[in-house]
Structure 1
């Protein structure tokens, strides 16, 4: 049997070697004073060292907290303080950023920046600061721990904070007898299977790619991690490594489809068995184009950091029910509730509540059980803040985020529909639609638009395109062109950063 490997740039590391290094790192962290139940932050880009930091934690009963390494200022300060992390493992070039925001008690372990990451981000040679112990020293100077931790805690991952400061999701440990069930769900949802090869092109500090990477390795798969997503490089990786499963987000689909046809045709993608996506709405035209290109291997799932996947949708199901995010996976369940918290009839819109598969562990929010109770719908159901409907055949369709819904003149407007329409306008690369104050109607619509290079789209073009395809009341009153929209690597849009200039009083809400 061929030993599975992790591929990071030009580095090919046997999984057994990576896990052995993780055991030594675990011992080193324990000697530094990291106790069972303690949390430690991981401020690193995608590379094997981040996986080592993740795998080390459960060996000593500690909890890894992956950190969005883009964060600075209040976002980073909030996470480091809120998580009560006792140590932070930090790439050398990011050490000054963490030093500027860290609580006094936090200790830093410096991690060298590998060549493939330095190249991808044009960092040049990144020397050690020399101010802190290094991860490599901890690995070299320590032996693997001798005690085994039963039912170790899961990582605490902070949600993206698109409408406010991020909140940490604390999940119960997975009982050993449930691991097989969860592995079966992962196989169904993202196409993972022993002996296959998975590629994770999204940041490991997000839930979906983090879970995908750890489960791929647990299932005996080869794993390719990309330091950052590049469309043609992704195609090259699929062909070179005979990738069977890819976990992606819709913004990656857009970049792939914008490659010239001759580039897309250069690569053999026939090894792909499943291309799964989640995290953000996928415009119908984009989804259809991906299915036409790759075949019926495109799978969508809906859920969240809190409770894993609630629904799953194959290509065939989506083509039969365009726009759906699928039907419940395993023994999960979905309810759509009205303002009185009673279930609405099929076809009617309301707030979506889900119940995770029974194998998935329960959760709360770190230091904020009240926030957990606020989203509870009873009987194990809770909401992620989405609005949608279930059709006559039992397929869930999402309209938008509840927080994004605009009420203009008493009419509910869902910006996601307008955004999907504008992405079909030639020259538009990305768009964000949201509500702004309006003296007459309460709220009006604003569209912030990012254009493709050399595009000549005007405000009138934007309004005319929406007017031709949707009701007139959905035409944006304000159109602003942005050089780049503030979109997270996971595909989520930070609309609060755009709203703040219009709603100063709500900026911190």
Structure 2
């Protein structure tokens, strides 16, 4: 097997053989060596095979960040199955939709979310004791640790992450070994801020149902580094772990970075061991960069990507982060080695530098496609492998990329993507709502906040708090509007489409 075809499980196998006692993961006082992680993965794989689960099948995980998720994922990969981590923040109907769409043969779930997986027709495993359900550890450790080596092919899916779209219906983006690892096959060509070594200690703080969580954890394990897993982001806990384990790399969204810098203990914390903070989800405000440089003092790198590109494909390096401000800080940076980018007009023609169009990308990192959605896949990726990002932008003469707008009207609040359509669908079902438009408005804490603009049914005067509560019962709390305004009508174009841009301009 050539270097370019090494799978995610192969990396852990190699580290288990070369440095068996090196610590792979630390979680709430529990340490797992690379040899132990590799054995755990083999046992998981053998348990799946013994259960009759066939290659290409899906296994799901519903829970917060934990170390044994990675052993579970690697074990599924060793058995040729696809892991589907599900967003625990979603409302029950949203979780039910994803599980019905993914059709997992087995679901690993934390006890607090057990009610979300009832009636799915899949084998249920629990991470911790609750009732009579079997435990992951018992199910796993009843098997031999002989490696079955039934890995999926380099171009076969090993991870499926659900991403919402303009229709409000989530789609499973299938990521292969190539998607997750292909760009890293030529490590010497990568920029310094993007490189890893076995000496690195990373903080896995982003949720594992995002590529920023699972991908960050994978990069840690790929390079034989040490990963400290955080169940969920808490600034005091993160500061403590940073110092205790001398974390060298961390990935955050700007909202979390601001919360960290604002914490009273941050000013007295020694951050000299921290080399790079990578951030994504949105650009970093200049005042936050200045604050972070003053408080933390390490390098900062912006990472641009999406679920469909297996994470980062474009980055703004530390040397372009100027506390005095610069034109480049308004952008998202340069394509990584192996990533091709072009700006396209509506007819598919490539536009010259400075012209605004849709950002298209082609690379090994692109997803295989959307699960069971060939039409949506064909719409997203053309026959030549160019993926439509849905972002409008432009490129300067030096190859730096800049975002001009989000074509799909997506809202980014606290690093989470929210599509107006899914919020509008939830509010439309309220009997007092005749029409509704949802937009993102500037917010000092979250970057953007979700706002609903509602046209009430004739004779109705709905209560804003009641509408927000109605939405929270049907969609995740972070998607629900923070505020609701009312008006008699909404601006629409001649074909009836809501002109959200006009509404955004009003509030900005």
What TM-score range do you get, normalising by the shorter chain? 0.7 to 0.9
- Residues in 1 aligned to 2:42 and 2:291: alpha-carbon distance in whole angstroms: 45
Instruction: Name the residue aligned to 2:210.
Output: 206
Structure 1 residue 391 and structure 2 residue 399: aligned? no
What do the CA deviations read for 1:342-384 (whole angstroms, capped 9, x no partner)? 233433332221222x4x3642000112112212356422222
More moved, 373-382 vs 199-208 = 373-382
Instruction: Name the residue aligned to 1:277.
Output: 279
Runs of 5+ unmatched residues, structure 1? 113-126, 407-414, 439-477
**1:352–1:384 CA contact under 8 A, matched in 2:** yes
Instruction: Name the residue aligned to 1:250.
Output: 254
Structure 1 residue 67 and structure 2 residue 74: aligned? no
More moved, 362-371 vs 152-161 = 152-161
Structure 1 residue 55 and structure 2 residue 74: aligned? yes
What do the CA deviations read for 1:109-154 (whole angstroms, capped 9, x no partner)? 1221xxxxxxxxxxxxxx4211x32212212311124531244442
Following TM superposition, by how much is the alpha carbon of 1:494 offset from its aligned partner in structure 2, in angstroms? 3.2
Q: Which runs of 4+ in 1 moved over 6 A?
A: 495-507
- Residues in 1 aligned to 2:180 and 2:352: alpha-carbon distance in whole angstroms: 39
Structure 1 residue 25 and structure 2 residue 44: aligned? yes
**1:382/1:148 Cα in 2 relative to 1: closer, same or farther (>3 Å)?**
same
1:432 is matched with which residue: 449, 457, 480? 449
**1:387–1:398 CA contact under 8 A, matched in 2:** yes
Instruction: Name the residue aligned to 2:387.
Output: 382
**1:204–1:210 CA contact under 8 A, matched in 2:** yes
The Cα RMSD (Å) is: 3.8
**1:306/1:177 Cα in 2 relative to 1: closer, same or farther (>3 Å)?**
closer
Instruction: Name the residue aligned to 2:63.
Output: 44
- Residues in 1 aligned to 2:253 and 2:207: alpha-carbon distance in whole angstroms: 11
**1:176/1:212 Cα in 2 relative to 1: closer, same or farther (>3 Å)?**
closer
**2:46–2:148 CA contact under 8 A, matched in 1:** no
Matches within 5 A, 1:66-85: 66-85=85-104
**1:506/1:48 Cα in 2 relative to 1: closer, same or farther (>3 Å)?**
farther
Alignment: residue pair count = 428
- Residues in 2 aligned to 1:185 and 1:213: alpha-carbon distance in whole angstroms: 22
**2:173–2:370 CA contact under 8 A, matched in 1:** yes
Structure 1 residue 232 and structure 2 residue 239: aligned? no
**1:23–1:145 CA contact under 8 A, matched in 2:** yes
Instruction: Name the residue aligned to 1:400.
Output: 405
**1:391/1:248 Cα in 2 relative to 1: closer, same or farther (>3 Å)?**
same
Following TM superposition, by how much is the alpha carbon of 1:429 offset from its aligned partner in structure 2, in angstroms? 5.8
What do the CA deviations read for 1:245-284 (whole angstroms, capped 9, x no partner)? 1111112112113223xx2122111111111111334334
- Residues in 2 aligned to 1:179 and 1:149: alpha-carbon distance in whole angstroms: 24
**1:377/1:437 Cα in 2 relative to 1: closer, same or farther (>3 Å)?**
farther
- Residues in 2 aligned to 1:238 and 1:339: alpha-carbon distance in whole angstroms: 47
Secondary structure of the structure 1 residue equivalent to 2:408: helix
**1:349/1:377 Cα in 2 relative to 1: closer, same or farther (>3 Å)?**
farther
Secondary structure of the structure 2 residue equivalent to 1:387: strand
- Residues in 2 aligned to 1:162 and 1:240: alpha-carbon distance in whole angstroms: 43
Structure 1 residue 133 and structure 2 residue 137: aligned? no
Following TM superposition, by how much is the alpha carbon of 1:159 offset from its aligned partner in structure 2, in angstroms? 1.9
Secondary structure of the structure 1 residue equivalent to 2:315: strand
Runs of 5+ unmatched residues, structure 2? 1-18, 412-438, 456-463, 491-495, 499-508
Instruction: Name the residue aligned to 2:375.
Output: 370
Structure 1 residue 222 and structure 2 residue 241: aligned? no
2:297 is matched with which residue: 286, 295, 298? 295
**1:245/1:146 Cα in 2 relative to 1: closer, same or farther (>3 Å)?**
closer
Secondary structure of the structure 2 residue equivalent to 1:37: coil
**1:146/1:192 Cα in 2 relative to 1: closer, same or farther (>3 Å)?**
closer
2:263 is matched with which residue: 255, 259, 265? 259
- Residues in 1 aligned to 2:307 and 2:32: alpha-carbon distance in whole angstroms: 29
- Residues in 2 aligned to 1:373 and 1:501: alpha-carbon distance in whole angstroms: 39
Instruction: Name the residue aligned to 1:451.
Output: none
- Residues in 1 aligned to 2:485 and 2:376: alpha-carbon distance in whole angstroms: 23
Instruction: Name the residue aligned to 1:118.
Output: none
**1:284–1:323 CA contact under 8 A, matched in 2:** no
Instruction: Name the residue aligned to 1:142.
Output: 143
**1:91/1:433 Cα in 2 relative to 1: closer, same or farther (>3 Å)?**
closer
Instruction: Name the residue aligned to 1:121.
Output: none
Secondary structure of the structure 2 residue equivalent to 1:156: strand
**1:91–1:111 CA contact under 8 A, matched in 2:** yes
Secondary structure of the structure 2 residue equivalent to 1:246: strand
**1:432/1:62 Cα in 2 relative to 1: closer, same or farther (>3 Å)?**
same
What do the CA deviations read for 1:234-255 (whole angstroms, capped 9, x no partner)? 1221111111111111121121
Matches within 5 A, 1:152-163: 152=153, 153-159=157-163
**2:27–2:230 CA contact under 8 A, matched in 1:** yes
